[in-house]
Amino acid sequence: MIFYDVCNTLLLYGISRWTKFYENILFAVLILALIVFSVTMVIYPFSEIRVMWYFFTIMIAYFVGGRNIGHVTAIASLVIIYYINFVCNLDFSATANASIIIGILFISQISNYFVNILDENEKELYNYQNHLQDMIDNAVKVIEELNIEITDTQKEVVFTMGAIGESRSKETGNHVKRVAEYSKILALAYGIEEEDAELLKMASPMHDIGKVGIPDNILKKPAKLTFEEFEIMKTHSIIGYEMLKYSKRPILKTASIVAYEHHERWDGKGYPLGIFGDNIHIYGRITAIADVFDALGSKRIYKDAWEDEKIFELFREEKGKQFDPKLVDLFFLNFSKFDEIRKKLVDIQDA
């Protein structure tokens, strides 16, 4: 009989091990087992059914209620055995009593053993989860560092490409650096989020990248361009856009907008699209002011640098014509910041 009950116990342990999430159901079974056990004690003071429920109740108590509840249930079972035999004066054979007591003790020990194994497994699982979390945290950190490195590399590539475009017209890379800084100043003043303002700063150096497709005899001509030559020069906006428009990278997508629209005018008389007002992307409107200010204030092979007052006069005249009027106002309000950048990034003319 003990062997039979042990087999039942092991089988029930296997079931309960894989149905841990049914704890509420198992607790209900435990209550039912106690009720049935009480009834069978009265009706059948000693029977195989009663013994089975002893063992079943103890086993469920261990695996569902935990080690302490299991111990209490086992002790309670022994007390009940004592009560039945000595208080109720039910005369069972010594062999029967010994079988039940040994069975209870055996079930208690084996249940406790398996509960200990479960506890150890839970500890190992907890440690593994912590180790896995550390691995994930380290992986995330590495990915973040790689993203930063990729972003920095993209910035360097963008500045380099922008400088290449400008160098063909005998201008240093400081022009694109200044335009980048000016663009961010205006973007923040306009109310654009820091992240987008930084994106514009990184992309704006590419505004004239299309100049790589303009012939040298036009790009480097010291005299005024003819109508035909100027028409060719204007195509640099389209060339730059075509070079960048298919990229899925935010920096280059932004750069494609800047390259395409920074020569549009608020009054619609710009190129290449001839769009006007708010139809011009804000990135194009901002870069237009940054580019024109730096171009007028810098010495070129075909002109000397303009004085600030002359530049201010032009901006006042072109407010609402060439330039977004709100951005012109923001330019004047933030001119001290522009001046700091200009002094910091001085041009180095080619010898």
Assigned token pair, 229: 């030559």
Average pLDDT, the chain: 75
Indicate the pLDDT class of residue 32, thresholds 50, 70 and 90: low
Task: Give tens-digit pLDDT for 88-146.
Answer: 544 444 444 444 554 555 555 555 556 666 667 677 777 777 777 777 777 777 777 77
Assigned token pair, 51: 């013994």
Assigned token pair, 346: 């001085």
The amino acid occupying position 213 is G
Q: 177, 184, 211, 319: which is the annotated catalytic residue?
A: 211
64 vs 175, more confident: 175
* Sign of the dihedral through C-alpha 188, 193, 196, 198: positive
Residue 286 neighbours by CB distance under 10 Å: 30
**Residue 320, pLDDT above cutoff 90:** yes
The amino acid occupying position 90 is L
Question: Which pLDDT value is given to residue 72?
Answer: 58
Question: Which pLDDT value is given to residue 118?
Answer: 64
278 vs 87, more confident: 278
First-to-last CA distance in the chain?
Answer: 107
Between the alpha carbon of residue 341 and those of residues 49, 271, 294, 338, the distances in Å are 93, 28, 11, 5
Question: What are the structural domains of the chain?
Answer: 2-119 (no CATH), 145-344 (1.10.3210.10)
Is 262:237 a contact under the CB 8 Å cutoff?
A: yes
Asked if 211 is an active-site residue, the reply is yes
Quick one: which of 183, 215, 176 has its CA closest to 200? 183
The amino acid occupying position 285 is R
Indicate the pLDDT class of residue 10, thresholds 50, 70 and 90: very low
Report residue 17: phi and psi, to 5°: -65, -35
Between the alpha carbon of residue 230 and those of residues 224, 234, 291, the distances in Å are 9, 6, 18
Partners of 186 in beta bridges: none
E-only strand ranges, the chain: none
The position carrying tokens 């002359």 is 310
Is 77:103 a contact under the CB 8 Å cutoff?
A: no
Indicate the pLDDT class of residue 348, thresholds 50, 70 and 90: low
Question: Which pLDDT value is given to residue 290?
Answer: 97
The amino acid occupying position 16 is S
**Residue 300, pLDDT above cutoff 70:** yes
Is 201:251 a contact under the CB 8 Å cutoff?
A: no
The Cα–Cα gap between 198 and 275 comes to 26
